[in-house]
Amino acid sequence: MIDEQNNIHETENLNELDNTDKSIENADSLNEEVQENTLSEVEALKQQLHEANDKFLRLYAEFDNYKRRTMKEKTEILQTASKEVMLSLLPVIDDFERAQKAANSSLDLEAYKQGIELIHHKFNNILSTRGLKALESVGQEFNVDLHEAITNIPASSDDLKGKVIDETEKGYMLNGHVIRFAKVVVGE
């Protein structure tokens, strides 16, 4: 009976050893499979990183080219805009030169004054079509966004206090933005 029990235990031990060997073999094959999967995942991640890096470099180069292109276009626009303004002012210069010649050869002061007024009107029209607008300041409330106070003087009446009494230099707006503040005298 003891021999039988020993045989049973030995058989059980052999079965356990066999199962342990199989478990070790299964663990080894599982370990190899995990390593292969891990290596393939690492390779896939490396490939994704390489693709993302390549995409980033392309986008960076594209953005750099975009910046250069827009700077060049901006420079060209500014040059073209000033060219158009200069071309529109050339007739005014021609008129002034004709007025100078006429002043040297003619003694008619009234005709000369009318010619200068016409040139002034033509010049103002050209500037207004380009968006330039003179600020009307005299009699208006003093506004720090439009005016630069040179001095304050006593107002002759209470309704002139805080208002512009005199303008020493006109202010101008270009397309709704002040490009030169009006220099004014304010009543106090």
Q: What is the pTM of this model?
A: 0.56
CATH number of 133-188: 2.30.22.10
State the pairing for strand pair 182-187/147-153. parallel
Q: Strand 147-153 to strand 164-169: parallel, antiparallel, or no bridges (unpaired)?
A: unpaired
Q: What is the pLDDT of residues 13-38, one digit of tens each?
A: 656 656 666 666 666 676 777 777 78
All structural domains of the chain with their residue ranges = 133-188
Q: What angle do CA 101, 130, 74 make, to 5 degrees?
A: 115
pLDDT tens per residue across span 75-104: 988 878 788 888 888 999 999 898 888 888
Whole-angstrom Cα distance, residue 102 to residue 123? 19
